[in-house]
Structure 1
Amino acid sequence: MSMSWADVRFMLERARGLIRRGLASLRTRGLGPTWARVRRQFARRAPPIAEPLWFPAAGPFAPFTVPATEAPRASIVIPVYNQATHTLTCLRSLAAHRAAATCEIIVVDDGSTDETGAWMPQIDGLRYHRRPTNGGFIAACNDGAALAQGDYLVFLNNDTVPQPGWLDALLATFDAHAGVGLVGAQLVYPDGRLQEAGGVVFDDGSAWNYGRFDSPDDPRYASLRDADYCSGAAIAVPAEVFREAGGFDARYAPAYYEDTDLAFSLRARGLRVLYQPASRVVHLEGITSGTDTGSGAKAYQVRNRDVFAGKWKDALARQPQAGSLPTAGSVVRPRRQILVVDAETPRPDHDSASLRLVNLMRLLIDDDAHVVFLPADLRYAEGDTDRLRRLGIESWHAPFATRPAAWLREHGPRFDVVMLSRHYVAAEFLPLVRRFAPQARVVFDTVDLHFLRELRGAELANNASLRRTAERTRDREFALMQQADITLVVSPVEREMLSTLLPEVRADVVANLHEMATTGLPFEQRRDLVFVGGFRHPPNVDAVQWFGRHIFPLIHARQPDIRFHCIGMGPPADVLALQSQPGIVVHGHVADLGPYMDGARIAIAPLRFGAGVKGKINLSMAHGQPVVATSCAVEGMHLTDGHDVLVADEANAFAEAVLRLYGDADLWQRLAGNGRENIARHFSMEAARDTVQRVFRRHGRSE
């Protein structure tokens, strides 16, 4: 595709933004950190590395052992009719990569005449059931379900090769999502091409394997998603739900459409049918019944379509028209579709803005929206991208999205709402959104008021050049607010400021979003001080340096057993140098903050400039960890000095507040309890739910 004017305009705006941010970074961070950011920005975008498919070694039959237990969580039911070699391959796969979940394996032999009857009894741990006569796939599956002892029934074709982790991924879906009645795996061909990413059913009862022959790593097929049905080659169903539904409907005997019928039956009961791409299964399609629908067992597929269409006539009236081509947008209709664009894929373990964004998208999903995420850097972020996909967020990246303009030209018409995060991202994308998604309501998420943070930093440094930079940022942010349909800020203080400066702009508050955590150790068992904050954020660098150089020495002189733990990604040399002082430990990034949230006695937030609400304070308070902070740090957070936080702005006063709280168990307990109440009241998921629904439920710009 040739370069369009929209592409050129986008690239020019991106270049201007990079130059502006680069110069600002040079002034505030210096050459070394700025060069590191430049290298990161222009690093080669590597595509995701697809896991190679695993196949067991071929060889003659020899006895082996498969997983077995007397109290299984899952019962894997494998119906078979001849094809003993394929059954053997399937069982070898299950034996080679055992699931974390307890399971039993039941092979139901539907009257085989080959080696099946001789081999299966020799496999230790296998429950082998031989039917007296051949009754077909449905009868064999229902027999296996009647024999099963597990909480979940997992129906698995014998012509499959389950990949490592497939079963645990299926079962984890029931744990992570409410109201789920059936979960299906991603089916792939032996050559790695996609066979099915959930099925689509049309209004005449015909069906389509969504994604057939495409890449299984394509973002359209790589996230958890509701599906019309999932092929019975690899599905999981709660055993009680399956039995209440009457099992597979015998009217479709001997086979075909029973899986589609079950999915419709479960949805009619208010349960969800989900496609889970994290569960990957190789399927040798057509091994048992062939692929010719004009003869043999496969002919029942044609007959049963009419049976299915008659049974579900009313439900099919709401399905897409036969002959229409399923797309990424059509397979999730009629749900609202919301596009979220941020600078990069959020990393909720690294910074509070990422945690807020992920939890905001979770709220949108809870409100029955389909969320699509596009990182402006187009990078695949491995675990962080996969985390979004497990939540059901359709997450895009290169090489499947290469140019924002081209991507929005294709996908823009599907979106009801587009949220653009951060002013430099919104400046690049808003013209594209207005052109390619004119129907969409545009939400500008400031994350925090960047100009306010920059202006306060300039005032602290008494730097006229930084002040002029902050004023230019203010002008850009204000222009974007005037162009967007609604602006999100993170605190009432920022909303009140905008109501004065820009009364024509509609602004709403979505603060940091947190889930209440366990309260950790009691006062007597806690030790030390902790600071958590990423060092790509200049206010955090200044805060730690000020605390380490001017406040902690006062604390250490009076109580030398107290240590200060500094946690955050990318500490610069000046912060690392603080470790030369007794009692200061700079950890850098810590994957698991739990021990520090649950075991450190006090969290500190000594910020001298900044904007927005501070995730480090929210995080600690959600864990029942009291905080000593500056006035700047608690701005807009509904906190009161002495009630749920201690506030001090001078070095001596800050040190005194830390020492007082460190030694006063009653004060510590009072602040801990009141801090958790503050989180529940103002910063919990529930507290933001009404605002999120008000902003994102509306369709179009004029509502």
Structure 2
Amino acid sequence: MPKTAVELLRGETEIDAAWAVFDAEWYLATYPEADHCCGSDPGLALDYYLRFGCRLGHSPSPLFDELFYLNRNPDVAALIRAGQYRSGFDHYCQHGYRGLSPHWLFDDALYGRLYEDMTLDNLDRHRCFGRYDHWLKSGQREARIGHFMFDPQFYRARAIEAGADPEDLERCGPFAHYLYALYRDVPELAASPYFAPDWYAATHDRARAAIAAGIVRNALHHYVTLGGQDGFDPVPEFSESYYRDTYPDIRAAIEAGHFPSGYRHFVQFGAFELRRPRGDIDLLYYRDMNPRVRDDLNAGHVRDAFAHLRMIGLKDNLVFCPPERVPDIAEPAAKQLFELKARNQVALFARRRLNFAQHGPAALAVVMVLFNRFELTMLALASLRDNYADDIELIIIDNASTDDTRRIETYVMGATIVHSRENLGFLKACNRALELVTAPALLYLNNDIELGHGAIAAALDRLETDTAIGAVGGKVIRTHGRLQEAGSIIWADGSTIGYLRDASPLAPEANFVRDVDYCSGVFLLCRTDLIRRLGGFDEAFSPAYYEEVDLCVRMIEGGHRIVYDPDVVVHHLEFGSAANTEASMALMRRGRRVFKRKHAAFLKTKFESTPANIIKGRALDGRGKRVLFLEDTVPVRRLGSGFVRSNDAVRAIAEAGWRVSVLPVNGARHDIMSLFGDLPDTVEVLHDRTILTLPQLLEERQDFYDAIWISRTHNLDRTLPIFREAGIDPVRTPFVLDTEAIVAARDAASAAVGSERGDFDLAAALQDEFRNADVCRHVTAVNQAEAAMLRELGLPQVSVLGTIRDLDPTPRGFSAREGILFIASIHRRDSPNFDSLRWYRDAILPALIREMGTPPKLIFIGYTAPDIDLSEFADNPHIEIRGSVDDIRPAYNSHRVFIAPTRFAAGTPYKVYETASFGLPCVATDLLIRQLGWDKDAEIAGAAVDDARGFAREIARLYCDEETWRGMREAALRRLERENTRARFDATVKSILDEAGKPASKRRPYLRAVS
């Protein structure tokens, strides 16, 4: 072989390819024009096909789909039009069988990837003419998979259930049986667990119409050829839009052409990775909560958890998603458990007494007022001692207790304990204790609490950050796990509310630092000298309640701040020290009346008590400085790519005094600790929100944000309709677009080194990419070259916002280093980094061998996506693929030269900044050098993107010349220190925000034709 279609179909060769079939009966039944011309004579059908039908787009049998083949391979169609082949089938007979897919329900590349014995060499040895031949002859009967939507075993079972003859199925095979059924008037059967034909046809009107019009044969045919690309859902348990929105890496892969749909990725990879197919289906939960699922998967009864859910789990009502929230424990029961815990450990203190003896002046005084409840007091004191190891000036006022509190000295050493003969009440007892305090920081602490890890240290650290802070409070959690408060709000009528009462302590709104009206006296850390100047608590509020509200307001009126810190966690038995709840409520009502009379002027500045005002009243600081920051996901630094720069942008915005709410457009896929820990503690990380909930957020927060910062242009395109629907006016609420990288510039560079050279229309691509930029008050670029592109589009407010990279030079000297280093991530086969690696192997390395004889080994380090195969580099003795490593610094310390052979890219090359910061000289392409704006031969070495020999010469020069190496290392470090400092970056961000925040004058449309 190769043989022509004529030779194969006429039997003029001994080749027995299973796909080389002409079915005369089927052909005449399928093509009426052929039947008419042949007079229904099967003997004439082949001649008609070879003379006429093959040129009319006819298929010789159901095993080959001519129209699919031509549509899938336009280059073949062009060759047919030029007369080089009679038909697509003729091309397949001669060449296509070696790797092209002949039918919409067989994927040649997939078959080769799934089965290692399906190499063409191995097939040739066994007289199989391509993978499709093997599939038809044996693969379909061996339960192999030839397409992600056809499972031969599954279909065979469905066909037998529908009455098919098992012997007939065995003779022709499940796949051939299915193909012939396409042309019979029979109900469509499901061909795999991953497609529901009846549901699909009933759900999608366009699919139903296409089937009725004969455009497609059945529902599966429509989905595979049309519906998948158009975003149709194939089964009710999978949402294409949800999957693309939730996983930006998949959206990018689809846009790059690696997958026709998100579902294709999901079935091939995502189901094994336990990604969510729909918002309310959690495959990880499904597997872990159902032993049967794990057993069936381990036994190989089903391919993956999603297939198990569709085939078994739904029918048997197996749970597949956690409840919307963890069921609440009844608060009375939780209180009993808290009290029981205190009672059960009280015996500990008989032999292990608590020691608060001081070894010198203490930085912290703790005032605790007691009235009975000895067990709770000992739990609270033990928590205090365990929480903070340094000296504590503990002052206890016992308000005439009648239980074991009377002899608390027996169990607590080193404290100042005052036993009052009468019950002074909380307020007066605190004022009496204030007379005894000598420490500079004073903590008022209830005796019905248990402290969270590091609460006191966190509060002290916060108090020390600013001398203007008068008091620090924390996140108070009631015994049943719900919030009592995350800071508190004072309303215009004098009433108060604990912010987020009954919400989860993990709610985004509860986990950022902010100034508030007041914090509860359950835990209130204050400056002692300030409290003394204010005279302690106002005894007009005696015996208790509203005294800490009054105290905090007096601090605010004196120019001090009250700060809520979520790292200060306090578990509280609410009303645990009160006689009864109603008595407490009566005291609160009285305290409110006193407070209103005393602070009438202050209350005029507060909001009315309405649900809509809660979001505005939750913080005192940042008025007029609130920004909603949109990014693909929460910009955790370990994600690399542009997310490091986004993380720096969030930090800079916060540093500029703006309150930032970060909304991940595609959702947050990382653990809460990473999300909260990788951004400033003043930033609200909306980890439970996505683009799907953005409308709800804007509804809840009307007139709340003073600016919108959007990272990446595609996020502007996706969210702009939502902002418009919400009535957000970009004139009044300015938009800042941080481009991160201009995609059109990268695509143009890619086209310049590919087969599309000269065909790429950069001007049109730029117009399309920035078609919505006219709403933005300010646009940023990462370098001067891209800023110039934006200005040419007519964008008047354009700034260069570069990249931060702190210096961290590695110490090893020139002679102690060896080898070439290339560190990069490869997410897609068409990525710049994959192209770089191949260009090095194919062009630069041979030139380097001519330059150096035996070249240094290139070490490639970096993340590689699961579907990227780098085995093509395995046999090259001069290249070593190491993959991901936890710590890259040792690699920078041991290698002599870094290379960045990037031929197409946009933005700025962070890897070069990183390399320079570690003190490793770099050879890069002129493309990257232009993006950097660095001086060639001074701070970086380089060559043109089409000059492999020049690139090799630069590697050899830098590798062998120590003086050049040292000079370039030091020059690059100086350049970084001059241009890539955090101070410069922060100043640029502040300037952008200051400019965006000015009143907007009437502006002309930004976009115009590119000259």
* Cα distance change of structure 1 residues 193 and 631 upon mapping to structure 2, 3 Å threshold: same
CA contact (8 A) 1:160 1:281 kept: yes
With a CA cutoff of 8 Å and minimum separation of 6, indicate the structure with the bigger relative contact order. 1
2:959 to 659, 665, 680: 659
What residue in structure 2 maps to residue 693 of structure 1?
A: 994
SS at match of 2:258: helix
Query: Aligned-pair distance for 1:492?
Result: 2.1
* AA in 1 matched with 2:401: T
2:565 paired with 1:276: yes
How far is the alpha carbon of 1:414 from its aligned partner? 2.4
Q: Which of the residues 810, 826, 835 maps onto 1:535?
A: 826
Contact 1:350–1:569 (CA under 8 A) maintained in structure 2: no
Shift in Å, 1:400? 9.3
TM-score (norm 2): 0.59
Aligned equivalent of 2:734, options 441, 465, 481: 441
Name 2:686's counterpart in structure 1: 396
Q: Taking structure 1 as reference, are residues 561 and 660 closer, same or farther at Cα in structure 2, changes over 3 Å only?
A: closer
SS of 2:663 mapped into structure 1: strand
Pair 1:221–1:176, CA change in 2 (3 A)? same
Q: For residue 3 of structure 1, what is the aligned residue in structure 2?
A: none
The reply on whether 1:452 has 2:745 as its aligned counterpart is yes
Aligned pairs for 1:34-45 within 5 A = 42=276
Q: Secondary structure at the match of 2:835?
A: helix
1:406 to 696, 712, 716: 696
SS of structure 1 residue aligned to 2:772:
helix
Distance 1:686 1:88 in 2: 52
Q: What amino acid does structure 2 have at the position aligned with 1:668? A: R
Per the TM alignment, residue 246 of structure 1 is displaced from its structure 2 partner at its CA by: 5.5
Kept after mapping to 1: 8 A contact 2:511/2:684? yes
Which letter maps to 1:450? Answer: V
Q: Secondary structure at the match of 1:414?
A: coil
| Aligned ranges 1:142-181 → 2 under 5 Å | 152-171=441-460, 173=462, 180-181=469-470
- The CA deviation at 1:308 is 4.0
> Would the alpha carbon gap of residues 404 and 112 (structure 1) be closer, same or farther in structure 2, given more than 3 Å must change?
same
Matched, 1:217 2:518: no
User: SS of the counterpart of 2:563?
Assistant: strand
Aligned residue for 1:646? 941
**1:150 shift after superposition:** 6.2
Deviation at 1:363, TM superposition (A): 2.5
Paired with 1:311 and 1:418, the residues of 2 have a C-alpha distance of: 40
Q: Give distance in 2, aligned partners of 1:666 and 1:506.
A: 39
Q: Which residue of 2 aligns with 1:635?
A: 930
CA, structure 1 residues 233+205, in 2 after alignment: closer, same or farther (shift >3 Å)? Answer: same
State the alpha-carbon separation in 2 of the partners of residues 551 and 248 from structure 1.
Answer: 78
Q: Structure 1 CA distance, aligned partners of 2:406 and 2:877?
A: 74
Q: Which residue of 2 aligns with 1:319?
A: 606
Which residue does 1:679 correspond to in 2?
980
Contact 1:224–1:389 (Cα < 8 Å) also in 2: no
Going from structure 1 to structure 2, the CA distance change for 1:422 and 1:152 (only over 3 Å counts) comes to same
Q: Which amino acid aligns with 1:588?
A: S
- 2:550 paired residue number: 261
**In structure 2, do the counterparts of structure 1 residues 81 and 475 end up closer, same or farther at CA, with 3 Å as the change threshold?**
same
CA shift at 1:610, angstroms? 0.7
- Contact 2:634–2:687 under 8 Å retained in 1: no
Could you say which residue in structure 2 is the equivalent of 1:62? 348
Q: Which moved more, 1:662-671 or 1:51-60?
A: 51-60
Secondary structure of the 2:770 match is helix
Where 2:618 maps in the other structure, the secondary structure is: helix
> 1:248 offset after TM fit, Å?
4.4
Q: CA deviation at 1:672?
A: 2.0
Q: How far did 1:211 drift?
A: 1.5
Give yes or no for contact 2:814–2:962 (8 Å, CA) kept in 1: no
1:108 to 374, 388, 396: 396
Amino acid aligned to 2:606: Q
Q: CA deviation at 1:22?
A: 0.3
Distance 1:140 1:599 in 2: 66
Q: Secondary structure at the match of 1:232?
A: coil
| Higher Cα radius of gyration | 2
Is 1:191 matched up with 2:480? Answer: yes
Query: What is the CA distance between 1:385 and its match in structure 2?
Result: 2.6
* Shift in CA distance, 447/144, structure 1 to aligned 2, threshold 3 Å: farther
Which secondary structure state, in structure 1, belongs to the residue aligned with residue 882 of structure 2? strand
CA distance in 1, matches of 2:984, 2:702: 32
Partner of 1:89: 379
Kindly indicate whether the alpha-carbon contact (under 8 Å) linking 1:370 and 1:393 is maintained by their aligned counterparts in 2: yes
Counterpart AA for 1:684: F
| Counterpart selection for 1:425 from 715, 725, 744 | 715
Distance 1:27 1:158, change over 3 A: closer
Deviation at 1:138, TM superposition (A): 3.9
Structure 2 residue identity aligned to 1:536: H
Aligned to 1:586: 882
CA RMSD of aligned residues (A): 4.7
Q: Distance in 2 between matches of 1:627 and 1:185?
A: 49
Secondary structure of the residue aligned to 1:256 is coil
- Cα distance between partner residues in 1 of 2:842 and 2:712: 32
Q: Give distance in 2, aligned partners of 1:465 and 1:147.
A: 84
Which residue in the other structure is 1:493 paired with?
785
Residue 455 of structure 1, CA deviation = 2.1
Q: Report the alpha carbon displacement of residue 162 of structure 1 after superposing the two structures with TM.
A: 2.0
**Greater CA drift, 337-346 or 234-243:** 234-243
Q: Which SS does the other structure have where 2:574 is aligned?
A: coil
Q: 1:353 aligns with which of 639, 642, 656?
A: 642
Amino acid at match of 2:605: R
Superimposed CA distance per residue, residues 54-83 of structure 1 (whole angstroms, 9 cap, x where no aligned partner): 965741433235586746665544332222
* CA distance in structure 1 between the partners assigned to 2:486 and 2:439 by the alignment: 26
Measure, in 2, the Cα distance between the counterparts of 1:559 and 1:237: 70
Map of 2:126 onto structure 1: none
Deviates more, 1:334-343 or 1:552-561: 552-561
Distance in 1 (alpha carbons) for counterparts of 2:627 and 2:549: 28
Unmatched segments (≥5 aa) in structure 2? 1-231, 233-238, 283-321, 945-949, 1004-1011
Cα distance 1:604–1:582, how it changes in 2: closer, same or farther (>3 A)? Answer: closer
Q: Which has the higher strand share?
A: 1
Shift of 1:198: 0.7
Secondary structure of the structure 2 residue equivalent to 1:62: helix
1:19: how far off?
Answer: 7.1
* Alignment match of 1:24 (pick from 256, 262, 283): 256
Per-residue CA deviations over 1:504-549 (Å, capped at 9, x if unaligned) read: x344225234264555647579856655544337223333554577
SS of 1:373's equivalent?
A: strand
Equivalent position SS for 2:571: strand
- Greater mean alpha carbon deviation, residues 16-25 or residues 372-381: 16-25
CA deviation string 1:417-476 (max 9, x = no partner): 2233223322221011112042332333322101211221232233479958x8886443
The CA distance in 2 between the partners of 1:154 and 1:126, in whole Å, is 17
> CA offsets per residue over residues 198-244 of structure 1, 9 Å max, x none?
10012343321111223333333333332111112123345566566
Distance in 2, matches of 1:401 and 1:427, equals 12
Cα 1:241/1:255, change in 2 over 3 Å? same
> Kindly tell me: are residues 387 and 549 of structure 1, through their superposed partners in 2, closer, same or farther at Cα, counting changes over 3 Å?
farther
Asked if the contact 1:441/1:701 (under 8 Å) is kept, the reply is no
Q: CA deviation at 1:343?
A: 1.6
- Helix, strand or coil: the match of 2:637? coil
Q: Counterpart of 1:607 in 2: which secondary structure?
A: coil
Question: Within 1, Cα distance between the matches of 2:355 and 2:817?
Answer: 45
Q: How far does the alpha carbon of each residue in 1:344-374 deviate from its partner, in whole angstroms, 9 at most, with x for none?
A: 1112122142122222222222333222222
Taking structure 1 as the reference length, the TM-score comes to 0.81
| Match runs of 1:369-384 below 5 Å | 369-379=658-668, 381-382=670-671, 383-384=673-674
Aligned to 1:574: 870
CA distance in structure 2 between the aligned counterparts of 1:431 and 1:565, rounded to whole angstroms = 43
Q: What is the distance in 2 between the residues matched to 1:171 and 1:575?
A: 55
Is the CA contact (8 Å cut-off) linking 1:513 and 1:683 kept in structure 2? no
Distance 2:813 2:428 in 1: 62
- The AA in structure 2 aligned to 1:26 is H
Equivalent residue number for residue 616 of structure 1: 911
